[in-house]
Amino acid sequence: TQLLEQSPQFLSIQEGENLTVYCNSSSVFSSLQWYRQEPGEGPVLLVTVVTGGEVKKLKRLTFQFGDARKDSSLHITAAQPGDTGLYLCAGEKGATNKLIFGTGTLLAVQP
Amino acid sequence: NAGVTQTPKFRVLKTGQSMTLLCAQDMNHEYMYWYRQDPGMGLRLIHYSVGEGTTAKGEVPDGYNVSRLKKQNFLLGLESAAPSQTSVYFCASRQDRVRSNQPQHFGDGTRLSIL
């Protein structure tokens, strides 16, 4: 059972455009992490959000955790080719020591 | 600092063959995980370990076995490979025993094809 659904599944945009990726669930998570994965490599952590309504910024990337801690979004401003990759959200439920990964969003930024 | 190292990087097997994937981490992490990644399905947890000598089933454990004889190593075994096990396998480790929200550190994956 996939508890975390990401949308869109694929996104191809031009350099300089803005975009938003969504991560939705019917379950409540104690925290949510966003990872980026490049071809031939493993996922690398971008950010962790913990508090409902929390907003974190990482240069041109803005991450938000929903008030009810069931969903999250990633907004990229003025996308660059270097942003190309697979973006994965992952939620943790309590102190389970396990992450539940989303279905992934594959982003291609064309120069 | 190598982090998480997976071997081999690529492998092709015939149906029914067995093999072992090795994961080694040099960060003294307590927790280790094995995932498989298939198109459109993100990462699915196969087995995990919360310490040396302990293992537990994840979301998709059937057809796989694991062992954690040493803290730094986590082995994933395929007993009798099936085409449905064609996938990219990732190992990850995580540091803390007490605090949640810790990141997982991933290896670069093993690409496995079963013919």
Alpha carbon B26 to chain centroid, angstroms: 16
Task: Identify all chain B residues contacting A44, using CB atoms and an 8 Å cutoff.
Answer: 106
Alpha carbon A43 to chain centroid, angstroms: 12
Alpha carbon B87 to chain centroid, angstroms: 12
Query: Is B15 contained in some domain?
Result: no
Cβ neighbors of B111 (< 8 A, separation 6 or more) are B9, B10, B11, B88
Please give the Cα distance from A93 to B101 (Å, whole number).
10
Rg (alpha carbons) of chain B, rounded to whole number: 13
Give the number of domains in chain B: 1
> How far does the CA of residue B17 sit from the closest CA of chain A (Å)?
25
The pLDDT tens digits for A64-80 are: 999 999 999 999 999 99
pLDDT value of residue B38: 92
**CATH (residue range A18-110):** 2.60.40.10
**Mean pLDDT value across chain B:** 92
Instruction: Check pLDDT > 60 for residue A1.
Output: no
Closest residue of A to B30, CA-based? A97
Query: Is B95 contained in some domain?
Result: yes
What DSSP assignment string belongs to A4-49?
-EEE-SEEEEETT--EEEEEE-SS--SEEEEEEE-TTS--EEEEEE
Query: Is B14 contained in some domain?
Result: no
Closest CA to A107 of A11, A9, A5, A7: A11
Domain that holds residue B57: 4-9+20-114
Query: Is B28 contained in some domain?
Result: yes
* Residue B94: CATH number of its domain: 2.60.40.10
Query: Is B78 contained in some domain?
Result: yes
Distances (CA, A) of B86 to B11, B60, B113: 10, 14, 5
Task: Identify all chain B residues contacting A9, using CB atoms and an 8 Å cutoff.
Answer: 40
The pLDDT tens digits for B55-108 are: 999 999 999 999 999 999 999 999 999 999 999 999 999 986 666 667 899 999
CB nearest to A45's CB, from B42, B103, B109: B103
In chain A, where are the structural domains located? 18-110
CB nearest to A50's CB, from B58, B101, B104: B101
Q: Do B100 and A44 touch (CB under 8 A)?
A: no
Is A39 near chain B, with CB under 8 Å?
no
Please give the Cα distance from A30 to A99 (Å, whole number).
11
Mean pLDDT value of segment B14-25: 97
Is B10 near chain A, with CB under 8 Å?
no
Residue B7: pLDDT band (50, 70, 90) is very high
